[in-house]
Amino acid sequence: MTEPEEKNPWLRLARLSEDHEANKRLWNGYQKYLLRPNEKDYQRQMENPKFAEIAELSDAEIHAIQTEIQDLPTELGQYEPINMTADIQEIKIRLNLERFYFAFPVWLMGPRFTASLNLENAQFSHGAHFTGCFFEKRLWARESNFKALANFVDCKFNEGSYFCSATFELADFQSASFESHNNFAQAKFASIVRFEDARFSRLVDFNEAEFHASVNFNLAAAPVPAVPLYFNGAKFINHPPYFFGRQMHEDTDWTDVELPSAKLQAAQSQWRLEYDKRTYEQLRIKYGALGKVEDEHLFFRREMDLTGRLSPWYTRVTYSLYHLVSDYGHSYWRPIVGLAGVWALWSGLYALYFMSLDKLHLCMDRMDLALSITGLSFANIFAVFGFHRRFPSDLLTDPGTGAILLTASETLLGFVFLFFLGLGLRRRFRLR
């Protein structure tokens, strides 16, 4: 270690042995020793299997550590931090904290890491603060667990960061700079995530990540170049991602993304729904300008969901029907099913109506009878195409009021379903 690093007792403890497993055992055991006087927090952290399985150090081992590192704290308050970078401007030797357990808040703020930092499977039971760090080499944090705030504000990741399968409570990457490929695939964010004013220079992978609260990519600073963001299979449970002020790259991937359902969002406050609606509106506009029809319509459908939720009760039903009949113009199968349903239902209604008037000669051939009724129903649905000439019927030679109402309502419904069928086909096959 360099001389400044030698002066920091926590860095000395993390590197006390040349063997990583020995360092992990000593570090974790000392965390358990420091936490024991705080019985309430000790019992809380014992609920974490990672903490419960830590082997306790013997009195002789504790004494040996404190003898070797005389300025190492012998007791810590519950919120007293482990400051691993006090008075250190640069950490030159690789710092391996894989599977380390941090029972107290951790400060690693400000220094320049000229070698890689390994946080894989590390457990942070309180806040982890990396504000202003410059990571020249890679930061490895696969499967790490941040139980409180993970603060990476103003950090610079020069060769990339790997947070694959990491778990976050609160995560703050505001104004961070990501200079290379960065990976958050399968990461889980339990609460608010901030990438506000963050700068991305290469693609960022959020495939199959889970966001349980709001995630903020808004850009209020000077414009930055757009880069691909991959959200393939990602889940946004309560809110859509916010991209106000940020340009979208044409290669951003939203395949199989799961956006919040309008039913789930209905329990939220109106101002939050309004903000989410404007979020979808902005994303729709941006992807419309890029000519990405599928993505544009994806956000359009969510916008319509919230518009319906925010509308007065007497217009809400129209949005519900719009969704039911065609999924807001996205589906062409729904109108086809609707047309088939109208055909079958009105065929039955015609049969009942004309039987009541004794206009159906039940002694006639059943096939002719079925063709006469279903042909009439089919012709009324597609009346705009003149199918009455194809399916002439003597059932309407002297139509009553009931027959007129039945045929008129079927023709109107048929026109509605045909319109949405055309809309769905136009969207699916990019017809102009």
pLDDT in tens, 265-277: 777 888 999 999 9
Closest CA to 122 of 105, 140, 139, 97: 97
- Which amino acid, one-letter code, is at 419? F
- Asked whether the beta carbons of 174 and 196 are under 8 A apart, the reply is yes
Q: Which tens digit of pLDDT belongs to each residue from 178-187?
A: 999 999 999 9
Is a pLDDT exceeding 70 seen at residue 144? yes
Q: Regarding predicted confidence, which is higher, 240 or 5?
A: 240
Give the number of other Cβ atoms within 10 Å of residue 408's Cβ: 12
Q: Kindly state the tokens that stand for 137.
A: 């080499």
- pLDDT bin (cut points 50, 70, 90) of residue 28 is very high
Which residues, at least 6 apart from 288, have a Cβ–Cβ distance to it below 8 Å? 296
Count of alpha carbons within 13 angstroms of residue 284, beta-carbon side: 14
- pLDDT bin (cut points 50, 70, 90) of residue 385 is confident
Which residues, at least 6 apart from 297, have a Cβ–Cβ distance to it below 8 Å? 328, 329, 330, 427
Assign 3-class secondary structure to 47-104: CCHHHHCCCCCCHHHHHHHHHHCCCCCCCCCCCCCEECCCCCCEECCCEECCCCEECC
User: Treating both helix axes as pointing N-terminal to C-terminal, what angle do 20-35 and 39-46 enclose, rounded to 10 degrees?
Assistant: 130
Of the chain, the percentage scoring pLDDT greater than 70 comes to 93
pLDDT attached to residue 377: 86
Angstrom CA distances, 31 to 34, 36, 81, 143, 367, stand at 5, 9, 12, 20, 85
Closest CA to 184 of 210, 202, 217: 210
Cα 321 to Cα 328: distance, rounded to the nearest angstrom? 9
pLDDT attached to residue 261: 83
Three-state DSSP class for 122? coil
State the chain's mean pLDDT as an integer.
Answer: 90
Domain boundaries, the chain: 84-325, 333-428
pLDDT attached to residue 118: 97
Burial class (CB in 10 A: 0-12, 13-18, 19+), 50: middle
Cα 7 to Cα 207: distance, rounded to the nearest angstrom? 42
- pTM score above 0.85: yes
- Which amino acid, one-letter code, is at 176? A
Phi and psi torsions of 182, nearest 5°? -125, 140
Q: Kindly state the tokens that stand for 199.
A: 């700068």
Q: What is the DSSP secondary structure assignment for residue 384, as one 8-state letter?
A: G
pLDDT attached to residue 73: 94
pLDDT attached to residue 161: 96
Which residues, at least 6 apart from 367, have a Cβ–Cβ distance to it below 8 Å? none
Q: Which tens digit of pLDDT belongs to each residue from 98-127?
A: 999 999 999 999 999 999 999 999 999 999
Element at 424 (helix H, strand E): helix 401-428
pLDDT attached to residue 365: 59
Closest CA to 251 of 310, 204, 306, 219: 204
Q: Which tens digit of pLDDT belongs to each residue from 223-277?
A: 888 999 999 999 999 999 999 999 999 999 999 999 998 777 777 888 999 999 9
Q: Per-residue pLDDT averaged across 45-69, rounded?
A: 95
- pLDDT bin (cut points 50, 70, 90) of residue 374 is confident
Q: Per-residue pLDDT averaged across 194-206, rounded?
A: 95
Closest CA to 155 of 135, 126, 184: 135
Cα 88 to Cα 109: distance, rounded to the nearest angstrom? 9
Flag the least confident range among 201-205, 357-361, 383-387: 357-361
- pLDDT bin (cut points 50, 70, 90) of residue 386 is confident
- Asked whether the beta carbons of 1 and 11 are under 8 A apart, the reply is yes
- Give the CA radius of gyration of the chain: 33
Is a pLDDT exceeding 80 seen at residue 162? yes
Which residues, at least 6 apart from 238, have a Cβ–Cβ distance to it below 8 Å? 212, 213, 214, 260, 264, 265, 268
Q: Per-residue pLDDT averaged across 297-306, rounded?
A: 94
Q: Which tens digit of pLDDT belongs to each residue from 81-100?
A: 999 998 899 999 999 999 99
Q: Which tens digit of pLDDT belongs to each residue from 128-140?
A: 999 999 999 999 9
pLDDT attached to residue 1: 65
- pLDDT bin (cut points 50, 70, 90) of residue 398 is low
pLDDT attached to residue 360: 58
Cα 416 to Cα 395: distance, rounded to the nearest angstrom? 25
Secondary-structure percent of the chain, ordered helix, strand, coil, rounded to 5: 40, 15, 45
Q: Which tens digit of pLDDT belongs to each residue from 351-369?
A: 887 776 666 555 555 666 7
